[in-house]
Amino acid sequence: MKYVIDILNDKRKEIVNELKKQDTDRIINLKNLKSVDKALKWLNTLEKNNIESADKFEVLRLPYQENCFATYRLMIDNEAESVQDLDFTDTELFPDDIIFKRK
C-alpha cells in the first residue's frame, strides 16, 4: 500500500505545482486535488489500522431508527446469563456509523 500512497503523494505535488501556474484549469485541478486527498486519507487510515485486504472485511452500517434518537453501545457479554454481568465500553456508536467486521 505504501507504493500507491507514494504515487498519490507525487501526483498531489504535481497538481499543486499546476495550481501555482497562471494558465491552468483551476476547477479541474482543484477537483483532482480533492479526489487525491480523499484517497490518501482513506489509504493512510487503512494502512495505519493494518487493513491490508478489503476482501477480508465486511462493512456494516448501523441502521437508523425512525422517530427516535438512539445510540448503540458496545458490550462484552462474558457469556453471561444475567444483564448485571455484562460489561459496557465507553464507546458509543450512532445510527449511520460504519463498522469494519473481519470475515
Is a pLDDT exceeding 90 seen at residue 19? yes
Mean pLDDT of 24-46: 95
Higher pLDDT pick, 12 / 66: 12
Q: Tell me how far apart the alpha carbons of residues 96 and 93 are, in angstroms, rounded to a whole number.
A: 9
Confidence of residue 39 (pLDDT cuts 50, 70, 90): very high
CB count in 10 Å sphere of residue 29: 17
pLDDT range class, residue 43, cuts 50, 70, 90: very high
Residue 56: phi, psi to the nearest 5? -95, 5
Contact status, residue 43 vs residue 54, Cβ threshold 8 Å: no
Cell readout for 84 is: 448485571
- pTM attached to this predicted model: 0.71
Phi (first) and psi of residue 92, to 5 degrees: -110, 135
| Mean pLDDT of the region 3-20 | 96
**pLDDT in the model for residue 86:** 79
Gap between the Cα atoms of 55 and 73, Å rounded: 27
Average pLDDT score over residue span 75-91 = 79
pLDDT of residue 67: 66
Cα 49 from Cα 79, distance rounded (Å): 28
